[in-house]
Structure 1
Amino acid sequence: MNILEIGCGTGYLTRLLVKTFPNAAITAVDLAPGMVEVAKGTTKEDRVTFLCTDIEEMVLNENYDLIISNATFQWLNNLPATLEKLIARLTAEGSLIFSTFGIDTFQELHMSYEHAKEKLQLSIDSSPGQMFYTLEELSQVCEEALPFSSEFPIEITKMEKLELEYFQTVREFFTSIKKIGAANSNKENYCQRPSLFRELINIYETKYRDESGVKATYHCLFFKIKRHAPLP
């Protein structure tokens, strides 16, 4: 098998791929040099090639039996074009499998932000970070990325799930999302007034804390795009 992993990070998924596919050649890509170096240090396999590059700019010269990505596609600047490029590089029975974040991700943060704006009577059209797709919106993006004419039938399967994570404080939550790259998106601008963020933190701490701590919702979307070889 020939496998391409996008957004390998520190190599957690890469190591699972190594175990699951013992005879596969794996190319693992990430934009962050530090992440790639950590992944290299924890994955001692000659059949794994690590590349520090941007998948949106990367020229793909090979075909892949599996293209896989975990929690990376939400940060791409042009997801439709990238999906189209990746699907074109699937083998006859190849699959593109990815997880990403959906529209209900960090709903507590967004609701606290809106309530803080209302309380301070700020009439600004802004959001604390980018907005994500619904399951159906992302499904439509995938459909539109499929080739208009293909000798291989293509099947899309999808599912969604809500996951909760708890933090001791809201500031700890902010530190966490910064580490996963959520603070790097340039798709949305937001008001950075200190008074607004003090109020946001106060509302978040008050409304969304229970015995487990301050909660944050992750809306997880899972997609599999599979090519099928035509019947003889």
Structure 2
Amino acid sequence: MSAETATTIDKRQARAAFSRAAPHYDEVAELQREIAKRMIERLAYIRHQPEVVLDVGAGTGDATRALGKHYAKSRVIALDFALPMLQQVRKQGGWFKRAPCICGDAEQLPLADQSVDMIFSNVALQWCNDLAGTMREFLRVLRPNGMLLFSTFGPDTLKELRTSWSAVDGYSHVSPFADMHDVGDAMLHAGLAEPVVDVDRISLSYDDVPSLMRDLKSLGAHNVTAQRAKGLTGKGRMRAMIQAYEQFRLDDKLPASYEVVYGHAWAPAEAGVGTVCRVPLHQLDPRGR
């Protein structure tokens, strides 16, 4: 199996995992809420008043609600590829009864060209197989001078879990995460203007590995790469992984590291900026006329 195939996200399995997790997602989404909070705080320093805001990977709508409060005069749209997540949005009532919800994939946005003024996406892009293609989709639906603000996970995310599993077998047990430089390159190649990327590091603490595994399962954050082990994990391998994880114990707690990559960019002021214009050679006048 090639490296490219091995790290491909199985979108069908990912959608199914998040669909199952939807009813209990908010009970364990502490990290996701914290990252969204930090992103919303950044908006206070950005001068932009969007008419239409698209929350890509909205989940149960925590960031959608915060965006609705921050941009009280804007139309905020929640988009997620797992329908049960959006059904949880509707169950919250209140403001969410008026918020439009769209079930769709970030890699193929079901929206017209230049139809939104701002795209906000909190830790969702790691579930996209074609990051550069996703950035092109974002640019396609953004209006000129529209803003993109997102977060995703970097390669040091869950490094302790990845290291512990690698001591046990050769399967992929943790989803792949793009390096911040690759994220920046994807924005540039898509034609987005003034891209900025930075990194934050957050560590959660657990009493034991099963507690971490339960949280990941409740979040729907399963390993859905093509090279994952297809059968049930044997008790022996699980015990060996747990034992390997103990090397990271500090102050009687086991850490779970997250590398959070933030990205910010703009749609060019004029359509076509950053694109390549091709002119046939026979149309060029060597005399400069």
Which bracket does the TM-score occupy, shorter chain normalised? 0.7 to 0.9
* Secondary structure class of the residue paired with 1:48: coil
Match of 1:106 in 2: 158
Match of 2:143 in 1: 91
Task: Please say if 1:44 is aligned against 2:81.
Answer: no
**2:243 counterpart (179, 202, 210):** 202
Q: Which runs of 4+ in 1 moved over 3 A?
A: 190-194
TM-score normalized by the length of structure 1: 0.84
Task: Please give the alpha-carbon distance, in whole angstroms, between the structure 1 residues aligned to 2:254 and 2:57.
Answer: 28
Q: Name the one with the larger strand percent.
A: 1
The equivalences for 1:121-132 within 5 A come to 124=170, 126-132=171-177
**2:83 counterpart (24, 33, 46):** 33
* Secondary structure class of the residue paired with 2:100: strand
Q: Say what the alpha-carbon RMSD is for the aligned residues.
A: 2.1
Match of 1:211 in 2: 251
2:172–2:225 contact (8 Å) kept in structure 1: no
Task: Please give the alpha-carbon distance, in whole angstroms, between the structure 2 residues aligned to 1:109 and 1:103.
Answer: 12
Match of 1:2 in 2: 52
The equivalences for 1:165-184 within 5 A come to 165-183=204-222
Identity %: 26
Task: Please say if 1:12 is aligned against 2:53.
Answer: no
**1:22 counterpart (60, 65, 72):** 72
- For the pair shown, which has the larger CA radius of gyration, 1 or 2? 2
What are structure 1's unaligned runs of at least 5 residues? 118-123, 148-153
Q: Name the one with the larger helix percent.
A: 2
TM-score normalized by the length of structure 2: 0.69
What are structure 2's unaligned runs of at least 5 residues? 1-50, 271-289
Task: Please say if 1:133 is aligned against 2:182.
Answer: no
Deviation at 1:197, TM superposition (A): 2.2
2:56–2:119 contact (8 Å) kept in structure 1: yes
- Cα distance change of structure 1 residues 94 and 43 upon mapping to structure 2, 3 Å threshold: farther
2:208–2:253 contact (8 Å) kept in structure 1: yes
Match of 2:260 in 1: 220
Give the letter for the 2:237 counterpart.
L
